[in-house]
Structure 1
């Protein structure tokens, strides 16, 4: 039996897969996850959710399927606000234990 070498992954699977915009995609995914949870909790159809958030129905469909490349962070935040959520952006110096980047806690 031979021993297989492996590379230690990071906390961001998108980065591990080689996505150049992995941090932004991870932030978008966190916002979309919360948005989708709210839509499910309220029992909204895509059409209803699109009307409430001001998105198009095809745009809402992309969010529901986590196809987020052409949807901005700002648009996702606006949709959350339209669903009565408070979105906070906190800017502070990066510490050694925390690398610079974008962190979304939803």
Structure 2
């Protein structure tokens, strides 16, 4: 019989990553999704997006393929900034 467990809202935490690591992975995944969405919505080639964001085409390919381990939060924020997008953050108090 299959057991269904309610999600915590953080897939990485649900997969067993420590809280601090899962928080970073969520941030990176959201930034990567924004980059991918921007490229697709603008109908850009990977080469054009790479030039705009100041990275190589293989780096854009890594974003599009979800290779989260290849990026730092800083690098992703830089890419978004070079594309003319502003990143804002929200910090919330979470009860322990």
CA deviations 1:52-88 (Å, max 9, x no partner) are 1011211111101111112011111111111111112
Normalised TM-score (structure 1) = 0.75
Partners of 1:38 and 1:89 in 2: CA distance: 19
Give unmatched runs, 5+ long, in structure 2.
none
**Larger Cα-atom Rg:** 1
In the other structure, the counterpart of 1:53 is 53
In the other structure, the counterpart of 2:37 is 37
Normalised TM-score (structure 2) = 0.82
RMSD, matched Cα: 2.0
In the other structure, the counterpart of 1:76 is 76
Judging changes above 3 Å, is the alpha-carbon distance between structure 1 residues 7 and 41 closer, same or farther for their aligned structure 2 residues?
closer
1:25 aligns with 2:41: no
Q: Which moved more, 1:82-91 or 1:63-72?
A: 82-91
Q: Is the helix fraction higher in 1 or 2?
A: 2
Highest RCO, 1 vs 2 (Cα 8 Å, sep ≥ 6):
1
Partners of 1:90 and 1:5 in 2: CA distance: 34
